[in-house]
Amino acid sequence: MAPEPQGHGRVVDSDLVTDSDGIVAVPERSSKEIDADVYRTLENSPDFLHLVESGVFSLVQTKRRKYAISAGPYVGEALLESGLRVRVTEKAVGSLASLVRWALPTDLRLTEAPAPIAPEGTALNVFVERFLDHIGGYLREGRLKQYRDEHLISSSPRGRIDLRGTIRSQARGRTDQIAYARPVLSADILVNRLLGRALTAADSYASTHQEVDARTRARTFAALFDDVGIYSFERMPPEQIHQAFAKAFGDPRVAGDLRGALAYGQALILHWGAWTEAPSGTVPKSFFLKLETLFENAVRGVLRKVLIDPVADGADLTSPIFPTRVEDYDADPDLVVGHGQSPPVVGDCKYKQVLAVPGHADVYQLLVHAATLGASSAFLIYPGDRFHVSTLGRSVLGIDVNWVEVRLPHLEADIIRGARSIGLPVDPRGDDGADALLPAMPTPASGDAAP
């Protein structure tokens, strides 16, 4: 297959993409021709404008009066006000499934365009898997709780006397009873209610699609939410559900795995959980998975698992390019292998299809990163249709530069092969499948976190 240009400025496929079902489908990081009527519909659509502003799509008009739609590095679907669906599909079958096991909640992009209610779809199994991973991490640290008043009636009150409640009780003939309230630490709060509802949705999806492992995990986790009321969300309109999630995200305690679980749980509930009885309609937001960040996270995750040396994210380090301008220019490569050792190996992930050799900008950026961090070797990793390793040689800075192409459906195996080929220290004990890095399920003995 001929390589495509790095960018979206050209029409690379002349096939029209509107089908009989009113769907415009474009593979991620590609452009496809559309007819003039579809172009005008998209150009005048406020919903499509939201997608353009989010970097999901763009429109292209060539000098030859041809029209095209271009897709960025996302996978997902939205339903426009005209009834036209716009969809970004994975370029290589199996790419999403391979990348998503290493996903982070930042890989999920929410846009203002509505999306169709979808009992099926490429992304739904992704939402289930990532939601369960993050909720497992949240439960291991303990659920959030907060104090609330428990209202009781007794002849021996142990709390704050409730005068009005006592009067009502005595009016009913219970003259020896006193109403009172006492504070109790409860997990029945908004964030846990939303997670409990999302677990029901995950169970429903996994059961329908015969995903036995996911169903088992969802039911195991759900048992830890028996003390949480989820029934108010059963028939709540989607816009109100979205507002409830927005309120939950505003809680300053919502971070880490909890934030990730809520992000994927929101997408799962809106697209599946609340609507098993309603096969049509829309939800107020659409969700797109960003494969660019998924690719970076996947490469870093695999290397952390299989290499002997530690692998750091350059964004977590402080590596000023100019010592006098620390805050303005910082080297932040995607990968720093052997951080803290001398010299480290620096790597960058580029989610684009490389031409005959890596682009100038990619190499220049890599060399600056490597020189700043004192590396003697560096490498670039690209997705491709084949596994390939090559070297650019030693630069005038004394830095050896290699580049690797990996097949996304065979991501882990190709990364391991590439690491060995460029001399990275692969631990043979780490090459035993990816499950070692996935979060384990907590036991019912997991604790709960007080506010």
Sign of CA dihedral 409, 413, 418, 424: positive
Average pLDDT over residues 49-71: 84
Q: Which of 123-127, 240-244, 391-395 has the lowest mean pLDDT?
A: 123-127
Average pLDDT over residues 352-378: 92
Higher pLDDT, 446 or 181: 181
Cis peptide bond upstream of 451, omega within 30: no
Can you state the angle between helices 212-222 and 124-141, rounded to 10 degrees? Answer: 40
Identity of the amino acid at 313: D
Q: Is the pLDDT of residue 50 over 70?
A: yes
Q: Which of 59-68, 270-279, 320-329 has the lowest mean pLDDT?
A: 270-279
Average pLDDT over residues 28-48: 87
Most confident of the following: 68-82, 134-148, 262-276 = 134-148
What's residue 73's pLDDT?
82
Confidence of residue 443 (pLDDT cuts 50, 70, 90): very low
What's residue 51's pLDDT?
85
Confidence of residue 8 (pLDDT cuts 50, 70, 90): very low
What's residue 97's pLDDT?
67
What are the residues facing 78 on neighbouring strands?
86
What's residue 405's pLDDT?
95
Q: What is the pLDDT of residues 162-177, one digit of tens each?
A: 788 778 877 788 778 8
What's residue 424's pLDDT?
92
Q: Do residues 119 and 249 make contact, with C-beta atoms less than 8 angstroms apart?
A: no
Q: Is the pLDDT of residue 434 over 90?
A: no
- Tokens coding 377: 């070797």
Q: Is the pLDDT of residue 417 over 60?
A: yes
What's residue 249's pLDDT?
86
Q: Which of 16-25, 130-139, 184-193, 439-448 has the lowest mean pLDDT?
A: 439-448
Confidence of residue 240 (pLDDT cuts 50, 70, 90): confident
Q: Which of 353-362, 396-405, 436-445 has the lowest mean pLDDT?
A: 436-445
Q: Is the pLDDT of residue 391 over 70?
A: yes
DSSP letter, residue 21? T
Confidence of residue 13 (pLDDT cuts 50, 70, 90): very low
CA–CA gap between residue 402 and residue 378 (Å, rounded) = 6
What's residue 406's pLDDT?
94
What's residue 2's pLDDT?
34
Confidence of residue 451 (pLDDT cuts 50, 70, 90): very low
Q: What is the pLDDT of residues 136-146, one digit of tens each?
A: 999 998 898 88
Q: How far is CA 281 from CA 81, 116, 384, in A?
A: 12, 6, 37
Average pLDDT over residues 119-123: 49
Q: Where are the domains of the chain?
A: 1-89, 124-144+189-284, 146-186, 294-437
Of 316, 315, 335, 404, whose CA–CA distance to 375 is shortest? 335
- Mean per-residue pLDDT of the chain: 78
Q: What is the pLDDT of residues 83-99, one digit of tens each?
A: 788 888 887 777 776 77
Q: What is the pLDDT of residues 321-349, one digit of tens each?
A: 988 887 788 888 999 999 877 799 999 99
Q: Do residues 401 and 366 make contact, with C-beta atoms less than 8 angstroms apart?
A: yes
What's residue 3's pLDDT?
36
Q: Is the pLDDT of residue 213 over 80?
A: yes
